[in-house]
Amino acid sequence: MATQKETVECILNKLRDRSRFSVRAMFGEYALYATGKVVGLVCDDLLYVKILPASAELERLCEKGEPYPGAKAHYVVEEGQLSTIETLPGILGAIPVKKKKAKRKRTDLNR
């Protein structure tokens, strides 16, 4: 079941800061970005937040689930929790960016 645009708009409204949070449609579902980095997914009308040390506060508040078959587990933030978890924007904003690996120089193998 694809996520409805209304659900995505509701999540963005609850996060309050449209300049900080954005979404991008992907295969009928959405990726949630905080300042340009993916911090979660919106699948089947639910918000899935990456399980990382920065999101550990959600451990006691949320169930865990897979946003799609074969995916890593995420915290599942249900619609009712969007209003009750006051620190959600801060949690999502604190999720770190993966550092890009430095490109290795090619060595000339023909020597």
- Asked whether residue 56 is assigned to any structural domain, the reply reads yes
Within-domain flag for 34: yes
pLDDT greater than 60 at residue 69: yes
Structural domain containing residue 35:
5-94
Q: What distance in Å separates the CA atoms of residue 26 and residue 56, rounded to the nearest whole number?
A: 26
Tell whether 28 is covered by a domain: yes
pLDDT value of position 110 = 62
Domain at 10, CATH number: 3.30.1460
Is pTM beyond 0.85 here? no
Question: pLDDT value at position 100?
Answer: 63
